[in-house]
Amino acid sequence: MRESIYDLKTGKTMQKQKRKKWEIIVIEVIASGDVKKIAYKLPANVERCKGFIFSGNVEGSSAKNYVLGRVSLFINNRKFQPLNYIVESKPLDFLRRKYETLKLEEEIEAGSYVQGYYEDLASAVSFPYKVRIYLDCTTNGADKKTNNG
């Protein structure tokens, strides 16, 4: 994806490269019955996020899908709650297949916070485990690190 930008100082048109990037929110060391707070600020170079995927995998488990917990997210600085979702464990061979991105009704805006919680529903076969939330985002091409937490 390219976007043209006119530079008033030089009088030249420049090309601005846009690219897809996965922002990953990791929820670690989840024990039975835990409720974990989620507070994640999108990096400055992320322009918007339009979808998401979850990954929950319990180490040593080869079981078919079963419920791990529930995630609830607010986006755009708590203006919109697009997500109340049950997270299921997936066998490792399933995780290696291509996922279909779930679309958000409202895109996550640049520079905003993603906040909420993850609640363990005490059905995992072993603890602790971790869950990842992958946000399907578009960046302006420059990678910048941010402090999340």
So what's the pLDDT on residue 19? 81
Average pLDDT of the chain? 77
Q: What is the mean pLDDT of residues 16-40?
A: 88
Measured from the Cβ of residue 16, the count of other Cβ atoms closer than 10 Å reads: 12
Longest dimension (CA), the chain: 63
Domain 19-139 listed as CATH 2.60.120: yes
Which residues on neighbouring strands pair with residue 49, listed in sequence order? Answer: 108, 137
pLDDT in tens, 58-99: 765 555 557 889 999 988 877 777 778 888 776 555 655 666
Domain boundaries, the chain: 19-139
Q: For residue 93, give the DSSP letter.
A: H
Query: What is the model's pTM?
Result: 0.73
